[in-house]
Amino acid sequence: MISKENILAIAKKTILSESEAITKLIDFLDENFFEAVQRIYETKGRLIVTGIGKSAIIAQKMVATFNSTGTPSMFLHAAEAIHGDLGMIQNDDIIICISKSGNSPEIKVLVPLLKRFGNTLIAITGNTTSFLAKGSDFVLNTTVDTEACPINLAPTNSTTAQLVMGDALAVCLMEMRDFKPEDFAVYHPGGALGKKLLLRVKDMIEHSLKPTVTPDTSVKKVIFEISEKRLGVTAVIENDKIVGIITDGDIRRMLNDVDTIADLTAKDIMSKNPKVVSSETMAVDALNILEDFSITQLIVADNGEYKGVLHLHDILKEGIV
């Protein structure tokens, strides 16, 4: 058995080795990188990313990153390419081929076929004198001195270097496109991330009830209104204006303070100047207001027109927190 101390030491050594390999990439950035970014940015086609083995897995991750940040991309498996998948490549497409050695049999078969189509070919390789490098228009150097693997065989530092080089390309392209959070949201409409960036208050109150009383409504009827609408709150409306809010907490406090509610009306127990948001408010911003003021409901109104009630539970149900 390896001791806990040895396991932690091996893990630290691995992380340090990979971090050092990444740091060295800075010295490899040159005119090739600049030209590659420019070509990708200016192309009217897509970015095709290909590789074999572990590099193919890195290629798939790159494609996912490029697609989500505004660079239309497709993955092409190097082994499948020569069995029909080359048909996905179109005239304006730019191709990135990833290979540590740049000399694997599949790459040697693939490169001449790619060049036959006349597309720009960008190599990401750890061997700048390889078959792939010599056949490419631009070479992005991801050379590593050694792998973190103790027998220097399993791709570790080399695949991390490939991944980081791909991220560097993607981030440069994002900056060139002035890619903003709202752009990112377009490509991530689902899940918590998309909802944080896209979901608005109006999306959550579209079919909600609108508990309403007037200042002169009896407290008994106020209680009925809150109970019936099941939002734990009611707006107090006078002359089409929101003049107050009554929550179930207000009701409980009132019952603790008085012996009878017979003569009480809404205006006697309502809170004036309630927190109000518009229906266009982002859900995440509404959540921040709820948290800042330690409340669970917000009145929703557009230009003073009462639209409904947003409850904390509405936001929690959407899973954005």
Q: Span 60-64, mean pLDDT?
A: 96
* Integer angstrom CA distances of residue 173 from 127, 141, 180: 25, 19, 12
Decide if 4-179 and 201-318 have a common fold.
no
Distance, C-alpha 87 to centroid of its chain? 31
Nearest-CA neighbor of 250 among 263, 235, 229, 228?
Answer: 235
What is the average pLDDT value for the chain, to the nearest integer? Answer: 91
**Ranges assigned E (strand) in 38-161:** 47-51, 73-77, 94-99, 120-125, 138-141
In the chain, how long is the greatest CA-to-CA distance? 92
Sort strands 305-311 and 297-302 into parallel, antiparallel or unpaired. Answer: antiparallel
Ordered by start, the domain boundaries in the chain are 4-179, 201-318
DSSP letters, 42-75, are H-SS-EEEEESTHHHHHHHHHHHHHHHTT--EEE
Say whether 311 counts as a known binding-site residue: no
Q: Does residue 314 or residue 301 have the better pLDDT? A: 301
Q: Span 3-30, mean pLDDT?
A: 96
- Predicted confidence band of residue 51 (pLDDT cuts 50, 70, 90): very high
- Name the CATH superfamily, with its identifier, for domain 4-179: Glucose-6-phosphate isomerase like protein; domain 1 (3.40.50.10490)
Q: Check whether 192 has a pLDDT greater than 80.
A: no
Structure confidence at residue 141 (pLDDT): 98
**Ranges assigned E (strand) in 147-230:** 212-213
Six token digits for residue 247:
């929550």
Structure confidence at residue 155 (pLDDT): 94
CA dist 249 and 261 (Å) reads 16
Structure confidence at residue 188 (pLDDT): 62
Structure confidence at residue 193 (pLDDT): 61
* Number of separate helices (H) and strands (E) present in the chain: 15, 11
Nearest-CA neighbor of 199 among 90, 104, 280?
Answer: 280
Tell me the CATH number for domain 201-318: 3.10.580.10
Structure confidence at residue 34 (pLDDT): 98
Structure confidence at residue 117 (pLDDT): 85
- Spatial strand order of the sheet with 73-77 comes to 73-77, 47-51, 94-99, 120-125, 138-141
User: Token pair 């017979």 is at which residue?
Assistant: 262
CA dist 291 and 316 (Å) reads 12
CA dist 292 and 168 (Å) reads 38
Structure confidence at residue 64 (pLDDT): 94
Six token digits for residue 212:
């309403």
Three-class secondary structure of residue 141 per DSSP: strand
pTM, 2 dp: 0.69
Structure confidence at residue 142 (pLDDT): 98
CA dist 298 and 232 (Å) reads 11
Q: Check whether 250 has a pLDDT greater than 60.
A: yes
Q: Span 133-159, mean pLDDT?
A: 95
Structure confidence at residue 174 (pLDDT): 92
Six token digits for residue 259:
């012996």
**Residues 70-110: tens digit of each pLDDT:** 899 999 999 998 888 898 999 999 999 999 999 999 999 99
